[in-house]
A and B are shown apart, each in its own frame.
Chain A
Amino acid sequence: DSGVTQTPKHLITATGQRVTLRCSPRSGDLSVYWYQQSLDQGLQFLIQYYNGEERAKGNILERFSAQQFPDLHSELNLSSLELGDSALYFCASSPGISISTGELFFGEGSRLTVL
């Protein structure tokens, strides 16, 4: 158990809809990262928040947005969903602002299926 909690574990929705994925980081970790894992693209970095502020942005679509709340939990919002958005979405956390040791603690993921 990494200590990172993600909900929901599974989500099935239709094209055009909007969903919210939630992540609670490990106790004491201030950074939250969101990754997307699909069969053809592998694990892709989306965005990082540190103590409520956006710190780094990767290949995140404009239809996607994220935020980190004062209690440090984070939400990833996916809107106008397309079939290609079907993937596993992972949240990871780390103690500091930078990945100095490379050690990220990943949750078990939220599997999104868009029909």
Chain B
Amino acid sequence: AQRVTQPEKLLSVFKGAPVELKCNYSYSGSPELFWYVQYSRQRLQLLLRHISRESIKGFTADLNKGETSFHLKKPFAQEEDSAMYYCALRAGTYKYIFGTGTRLKVLA
């Protein structure tokens, strides 16, 4: 079955604290994984993709095929990181599967 699981609906952290948003996937092929973010009153936008191995806004995500995970991490959370975060799996030539999303709240 093709599935993306984000176990936490809400994650609250204090400013400056580390953040880890969990994502697990189920896919029989070679996974292609993304993180999308939706800030308040804005559209869904790409944050990062696993192939890039880049750090965007201080966020990184490593694909762990053994654990079928693609957790999103940031060492020091900022208030402007507060948003809805969606993990997504490309599950076919034209189809992406999204997780249910995790709302990150960074408290002052």
Are both chains from one complex?
no
